[in-house]
Chains A and B, each alone.
Chain A
Amino acid sequence: MSLEYWLKGEIPQPVKATLITDVKVLAGKIKQHKKPVVLLGSELYSLERLAGSDIVAIVADIANAVNADLTTSNSGIVQRLDSMGFKRYRVEFPMEFAQKLAKHSNYDLAMFIGFQYHYEWLLLNYLKHYAYKHLNTLSLEPYGHPNATWTMPSQPIPLWYKNLLALVEVLKT
C-alpha cells in the first residue's frame, strides 16, 4: 500500500487526512458514528470495469452493515439499486448534498466512493473547512484523499477490491 496521495500536484494541506491501512481500524472508525451516509459517484463504473466486479453491491452491503443511507446522482447506479431492491437511498446532487451536509443534516459521517478524483478532493476540502465541527469524512476510494478526515491509501485496484470485501466482512461481525 502506498502512503502517497494519488494525483501528482495535489500537495497535502496543513490539515490532512489520517491514513488508515488496517481494515479493522477502518471498520472501527465507521462504527463509531451514529448516522453515516455513503455518497456514490459516477466514476464507480470505471472502478467496476477495472476491478471486474459489482462494487455497487459491495457498497450496499457496507450500508446495510452500518445502517447507512446512500446517495447518488448517477442514473445507472439508481437503476442498479432499484433492481437489487435497496430502498435506503436518495437521488442527491453532490454539490447540493454537500451544502446540506454542512448546514442542515444530522449525518455525522460522510463516506465517499466512485467520484472523479479532483471533484471529491474539492468537496472534501469544503467539508473539511466548513463542516468539521459536526461531520467526519472518509474516502473509500483506491486513491488516497488528503482532505478527508480518514482515507484509505492509494492502492492497486485488485488490492483495494480485496480490502473492500474484507471491510464488509469486518463490519458485519
Chain B
Amino acid sequence: MSIPYSRFKVRIDELKTPLSEIRGLDVSIGYVVEEWEEPQGPTPFPSIATLRKWDHILLSRYRPLYLPFCDLCCFCTYGKCDLSRERRGSCGLGLSDQQSRLVTLVCSIGASTHASHARELLEKLAERFDRDHSIDLGPQVHVEMPITRLVTGVKPRTLGDLEIVMDYVERQIVQTLASVHTGQEGSWIDYESKVFHLGMLDHVALEVADVTQITALNFPKADPESPLADLGLGVIDVSKPVILVVGHNVIPAGAIVDYLERMGIRGEVEVCGLCCTAHEVTRYEKKNAKIVGPMSWQLRFIRTGVPDVIVIDEQCIFTNIVEEARRVGAVVIATTDKACHGLPDKSSEDPDKVVEELLSGRVPGALMLDHDRAAEVAVKAALKLAPTRLRLKAKLPLEDVVEYAKKCTKCRECERACPQNLPISHAMERASKGDIAGLAEIYEKCFACSRCEHACLKQIPILNLILKAAEAKRNSELFKIRVGRGPIQDTEIRAVGRDIVLGIIPGVIAFVGCANWHEGAVDVPVMAREFASRRYIVLASGCSAMAIAMYKNEEGRTPYEEFPGEFAPSSIVNVGSCVANSHIAGAVIKIANIFARLPLRANYMEVADYILNRIGAAAIAWGAMSQKAAAIASGFWRLGVPVIVGPHGMKYRRMLLGDGEKGEAWYVYDAKTGERVYGGPAPEHLFYAAESREEAMVMAAKLCIRPADTPQGRAIKLTNYISLYKKFYGYDKLPPDLHLFVRTESDIPITYKDEVLKFLREANWEEKPSVSDPTLLEEVVRKRLAVMKQ
C-alpha cells in the first residue's frame, strides 16, 4: 500500500500564547477526499509489489514468447553485451530478462506520456473552471471513474479530488521506471509484473485525462447518439483558410474554435484535426470541426499544401513537421514545452507582431505556450496566409510524375527502406511508361513515413508521386464518424451485463490503437462490421475509430451510420480518443461492479479475476505503434482482457501466450467448493500478434471464451469460432483445438453437432465438468465459503 498523502486535520478550540490567543482554528494538511460509503478494499493505492501475486498467477499461465529486436544490451558502459541464446551480460542479465526490461521501459514512456497529458489537462482546466468543479458524466453515469475507484480507492467528486490520484500515478511511475536501471530488477517475471503495474497506472491516467476534459469542456457525456462528424481528406473545404490541429491535447484546438466564435468568423475558417486532437475538437465543438484522418495521414495531408497553419500540441506528431510545413509555405505553431521543435518562444509577444513575423518568412513557426494567444495567432495567420498560398495548393502535374519515374534506376533502396516493404520500384517502372495504377495501389498500404524519399539516390519525391497517383482516391475520402461519446452508461451495463457474463452475447471486441496497419486502414472496418453483424458489442477508440469510419457499404453508408452507437449487441461504439480507452476498461470493470455487485473500492485482484474468468472481452490493436499503445495494452492484461495486435505489433518484443495443450496450466478453483477443477484454456492468450486479419478474427472469437460460460453461452461462442474458421479456411474444416473448448455435449452448437461429435471422437475427447464459479484466487474461495457458512 502506498497512500501518498493522508488526511490530517487538527482543530484547536483555544490556544493561548504570550503573543496571541487563538480560538476555533481548523488546520488541514494534505488532500481531503470525501469519504465513500463503500468499505475500503484490500489494495488502496497499490505499490509495485502489492498486486505482484496476481501478476505472477497470470504470468505462470501466459508466458512471454520473446521476439528480440536486438540481441545485445548497450545500456551501460560494461557493454555492449551479447545476450544471444543462454549468454548473460556483464551485469548478469539474460536475453529474456532484457526483453522484459525493455518492455518495462517502453511502458514507462507510454504511462508517463499519458500521465503528463492528464496532469496538464487537470492543472489548466481546474485553474479555469475551479478545483471544486463537480465531476459530472451525465445522468446515467453514477459509477464515475471505475478505474480510479478500483485502483486507488478514491471516489472523486471534483476536479480537485483528482490531484491526489495523479500524485499517486506519477510517484509510482518514477518508482517503477527506476527498476530498469542497471543492477536493479533481475528477473523477467518481476519485470513483467512491473509492466502490468505501469499499464494499470496508465489506465488511471487515461481516466483522469478524459473525465477532466469531458466534465470541464462539456464533451458528450455517455451519449449513444452523439452527432456525426465529417472525416476524410475530401471533406476539407480548400476554398477557406485551413488550420490543422495535430496531436492529443484539446486545449489549443478548443481555444482556436473559441476565438473564431468570439470574432464571429467561425464559418470563414476550416478547423480540421489529425490523430486524437481531431477526436477531441469534434467532441468539444460537436459541429463544424472536421477530422482529416488517423495519425498516418499527416504527411498525406500536409504534402497537399492545403493547411495554411499547423498547430501542434503533444504526442504522435511527425517530428520533421516544421520542415514539411516550410516546403508547402505553411507555418507551425507549437503549444507545449514537451514538443518545441526548435521554434522561437513567442509566448509573451504581441500576437500581431508574431503574425507579421510568420508571414514574412523570417521564422518557420513559433512556440506559443499561452494557448489563447496561440489561437489568435493561428487564426490571424491563416486568414492572411491563405490568399497568398493558393499557388502552393496547386497540384503536381501528371507529366511530372512520369518524368520523375523515368529517373528511377530500380536500385530498390526505397523498398529496403520501406517499413512495409512495398514494391515501389515495380510501380515506378510502370509509372515511367505512363501507368500510375501501381503507385495508386501503394497508397492504400503506405503510411507516408517518407523513408523511401530519404533513401532515394536520385532524390525522387516518391511520396508526392504516390499521392498524385492516388488523387482521385484521396478526394473521394468523404466519411462520417460518430463523435466520441465518452463512458458507457450504468443503465446500458445493467441491460447487457448478464448476457455478457453468461456468454449469450458472444463478446465485447474493442478496436483500439494507432494506424500502423500492414494492409492499410480497410482491415479495421471489415473486422468491426463482421463482429457487429454477429451480435458482438464493438467498441472503438483513437485512430482505429477513425479507420472504422473509412468504409462504405453498398448503400454508401459508413459503419457509424449503419450500426447504432449504444453499448449493445450489434453496435459500433466510438468512445473517443486514446484517453477514452479508459471507458473500455471502465465498462468491463462496471460489469463486475454493477451486474455482479462486486465491491469496487480498491478491490483490484477480485475484480480482475472476475473479468478474466467471466467477461468475454478482447481488444484488437491492429495498427499499434506507440509506447502509449503498449502501456494501454498492459493495463488490459492486468485486468484479464486479452489484446491482439497486427503483424507490426510483433515489434513490441514479446507476446504473452498460453499453451492450450498444457493441461495443468488451466486449472481453476471452484469458489463454491474450493476444489481445483479444469477450466480450459480460456482465454488462451493474453497478448497475440496475428499475421492476417482472418487470423485475428478467428483468434478474437476464441479469446472471448471464458471458463464461466454457461452451456448456452459457450455454444454461442463456439458457433462464432467455428463459423469464422469455416468462412476463411473451408466449410469442410473445424478448428483443430476445438476439443479443448467443449466441456460437455451441451456446449456443442446445434448447427454443427454431428460434425463436432465426429471430430471429438477422433480426438479422444472426454467430457469435463463445467465450473460456474471459477477463480484463480484462494481469497475468493475463502470469502465465498465464509458467506455460505453464514
Q: Select which of A7, A15, A49 is within 8 A of B84 by beta carbon.
A: A15
B694 proximal to A (CB < 8 A)? yes
User: Which of chain B's residues 402-435 have a Cβ closer than 8 Å to chain A?
Assistant: 413, 416-417, 419, 421, 423, 426
Contact B650 A118 (CB under 8 A): yes
CB-nearest residue of chain A relative to B662?
Answer: A103
Please give, as numbers and ranges, the residues of chain A lying within 8 Å of B413 by CB-CB distance: 8
CB-nearest residue of chain B relative to A103?
Answer: B659
* Complex Cα–Cα for A162 and B455 (A): 28
Q: Select which of B416, B648, B650 is within 8 A of A6 by beta carbon.
A: B416
A contacts with B: majority SS = helix
Contact A74 B72 (CB under 8 A): no
A–B pairs, 19, beta carbons within 8 Å: A13-B71, A13-B72, A13-B84, A14-B84, A49-B423, A50-B423, A50-B426, A73-B695, A75-B728, A95-B655, A95-B657, A99-B657, A117-B421, A118-B419, A122-B69, A123-B67, A125-B71, A126-B66, A129-B85
| Contact status of A73 and B71, CB under 8 A, knowing A98-B65, A129-B85 | no
Contact B691 A115 (CB under 8 A): yes
Interface residue ranges, B against A (CB under 8 Å): 65-72, 82, 84-85, 95, 413, 416-417, 419, 421, 423, 426, 455, 518, 647-648, 650-651, 655, 657, 659, 661, 688-692, 694-695, 699, 728-730, 733, 736
User: What's the nearest-Cβ distance from chain A to residue B620, in Å?
Assistant: 15
Q: Fill in one digit per residue for A110-123: 1 if any B CB lies within 8 Å of its CB, else 0.
A: 00000111110011
User: What's the nearest-Cβ distance from chain B to residue A94, in Å?
Assistant: 5
Please give, as numbers and ranges, the residues of chain A lying within 8 Å of B416 by CB-CB distance: 6-8
Please give, as numbers and ranges, the residues of chain A lying within 8 Å of B421 by CB-CB distance: 6-7, 116-117, 143
* Complex Cα–Cα for A73 and B724 (A): 13
Please give, as numbers and ranges, the residues of chain B lying within 8 Å of A125 by CB-CB distance: 67-69, 71
* Complex Cα–Cα for A125 and B728 (A): 29
Q: Which of B68, B70, B82, B657 has the most CB of A within 10 A?
A: B68
A91 proximal to B (CB < 8 A)? yes
Contact A93 B690 (CB under 8 A): yes
A173 proximal to B (CB < 8 A)? no
Contact B691 A93 (CB under 8 A): yes
| Contact status of A74 and B423, CB under 8 A, knowing A93-B699, A129-B84, A129-B85 | no
CB-nearest residue of chain A relative to B649?
Answer: A119
Q: Select which of B70, B84, B694 is within 8 A of A74 by beta carbon.
A: B694
* Complex Cα–Cα for A60 and B694 (A): 22
Q: Select which of A14, A82, A128, A143 is within 8 A of B730 by beta carbon.
A: A82
Please give, as numbers and ranges, the residues of chain B lying within 8 Å of A96 by CB-CB distance: 657
User: Which of chain A's residues 1-56 have a Cβ closer than 8 Å to chain B?
Assistant: 6-8, 11, 13-15, 41-42, 46, 49-50
* Complex Cα–Cα for A49 and B602 (A): 57
CB-nearest residue of chain A relative to B82?
Answer: A14
Contact A129 B68 (CB under 8 A): yes
Q: Select which of A78, A122, A126 is within 8 A of B729 by beta carbon.
A: A78
CB-nearest residue of chain A relative to B445?
Answer: A46
Contact B66 A42 (CB under 8 A): no
A87 proximal to B (CB < 8 A)? no
Given contacts A13-B72, A91-B736, A125-B67, 7 further A-B pairs with CB under 8 A are A14-B71, A74-B694, A75-B694, A93-B691, A118-B650, A123-B650, A125-B68
User: What's the nearest-Cβ distance from chain A to residue B455, in Å?
Assistant: 7
User: What's the nearest-Cβ distance from chain A to residue B28, in Å?
Assistant: 54
Interface residue ranges, A against B (CB under 8 Å): 6-8, 11, 13-15, 41-42, 46, 49-50, 73-75, 78-79, 82, 90-91, 93-96, 98-99, 103-104, 115-119, 122-123, 125-126, 128-130, 132, 143
| Contact status of A78 and B67, CB under 8 A, knowing A6-B416, A129-B95 | no
User: What's the nearest-Cβ distance from chain A to residue B737, in Å?
Assistant: 9
Please give, as numbers and ranges, the residues of chain A lying within 8 Å of B730 by CB-CB distance: 78-79, 82
For the A-B complex, the count of residue pairs with Cβ-Cβ distances under 8 Å equals: 109
CB-nearest residue of chain B relative to A47?
Answer: B423
User: What's the nearest-Cβ distance from chain B to residue A11, in Å?
Assistant: 8
* Complex Cα–Cα for A109 and B657 (A): 23
Q: Select which of B84, B426, B648, B689 is within 8 A of A95 by beta carbon.
A: B689
Please give, as numbers and ranges, the residues of chain B lying within 8 Å of A82 by CB-CB distance: 730
Please give, as numbers and ranges, the residues of chain A lying within 8 Å of B648 by CB-CB distance: 118
* Complex Cα–Cα for A152 and B733 (A): 34
Contact A75 B651 (CB under 8 A): no
User: What's the nearest-Cβ distance from chain A to residue B687, in Å?
Assistant: 10
* Complex Cα–Cα for A6 and B648 (A): 17
Q: Which of B419, B423, B647, B733 has the most CB of A within 10 A?
A: B647
Please give, as numbers and ranges, the residues of chain A lying within 8 Å of B661 by CB-CB distance: 104
Please give, as numbers and ranges, the residues of chain B lying within 8 Å of A46 by CB-CB distance: 423
Contact B419 A15 (CB under 8 A): no
Contact B70 A13 (CB under 8 A): yes
Please give, as numbers and ranges, the residues of chain B lying within 8 Å of A122 by CB-CB distance: 67-69, 650-651
* Complex Cα–Cα for A14 and B81 (A): 10
Q: Which of B690, B729, B736 has the most CB of A within 10 A?
A: B729
9 A-B pairs closest in CB distance: A122-B67, A75-B728, A13-B71, A14-B82, A122-B650, A73-B695, A42-B692, A119-B647, A15-B84
Contact A95 B85 (CB under 8 A): no
User: What's the nearest-Cβ distance from chain B to residue A98, in Å?
Assistant: 7
| Contact status of A8 and B657, CB under 8 A, knowing A75-B694, A122-B67, A123-B67 | no
Please give, as numbers and ranges, the residues of chain B lying within 8 Å of A15 by CB-CB distance: 71, 84-85
User: What's the nearest-Cβ distance from chain A to residue B511, in Å?
Assistant: 20
Q: Which of B69, B650, B689, B694 has the most CB of A within 10 A?
A: B650
Q: Which of A7, A122, A128, A132 has the most CB of B within 10 A?
A: A122
User: What's the nearest-Cβ distance from chain B to residue A117, in Å?
Assistant: 5
Please give, as numbers and ranges, the residues of chain A lying within 8 Å of B518 by CB-CB distance: 116
User: What's the nearest-Cβ distance from chain A to residue B529, in Å?
Assistant: 17
Q: Which of A73, A115, A123 has the most CB of B within 10 A?
A: A73
Q: Which of B65, B419, B518, B689 has the most CB of A within 10 A?
A: B65
* Complex Cα–Cα for A79 and B694 (A): 14
User: What's the nearest-Cβ distance from chain B to residue A154, in Å?
Assistant: 8
* Complex Cα–Cα for A118 and B419 (A): 8
* Complex Cα–Cα for A2 and B656 (A): 36
Contact A8 B95 (CB under 8 A): no
Please give, as numbers and ranges, the residues of chain A lying within 8 Å of B84 by CB-CB distance: 13-15, 128-129
* Complex Cα–Cα for A119 and B644 (A): 15
Contact B651 A118 (CB under 8 A): yes
* Complex Cα–Cα for A7 and B650 (A): 16
Contact B736 A8 (CB under 8 A): no
Please give, as numbers and ranges, the residues of chain A lying within 8 Å of B85 by CB-CB distance: 15, 128-129, 132
| Contact status of A130 and B66, CB under 8 A, knowing A14-B72, A79-B730 | yes
Q: Select which of A8, A11, A128 is within 8 A of B417 by beta carbon.
A: A8
Please give, as numbers and ranges, the residues of chain B lying within 8 Å of A98 by CB-CB distance: 65
User: What's the nearest-Cβ distance from chain B to residue A166, in Å?
Assistant: 22
| Contact status of A119 and B691, CB under 8 A, knowing A13-B84, A129-B85, A132-B85 | yes
Please give, as numbers and ranges, the residues of chain B lying within 8 Å of A13 by CB-CB distance: 70-72, 84
Contact B66 A74 (CB under 8 A): no
| Contact status of A41 and B419, CB under 8 A, knowing A14-B84, A122-B650, A130-B66 | no
Contact B736 A90 (CB under 8 A): yes
* Complex Cα–Cα for A50 and B424 (A): 11
Please give, as numbers and ranges, the residues of chain A lying within 8 Å of B688 by CB-CB distance: 95
* Complex Cα–Cα for A104 and B650 (A): 22
Contact B647 A74 (CB under 8 A): no
Please give, as numbers and ranges, the residues of chain A lying within 8 Å of B72 by CB-CB distance: 13-14
Contact B691 A99 (CB under 8 A): no
User: What's the nearest-Cβ distance from chain B to residue A96, in Å?
Assistant: 7
| Contact status of A129 and B691, CB under 8 A, knowing A82-B730, A91-B733, A99-B65 | no
Contact A73 B651 (CB under 8 A): no
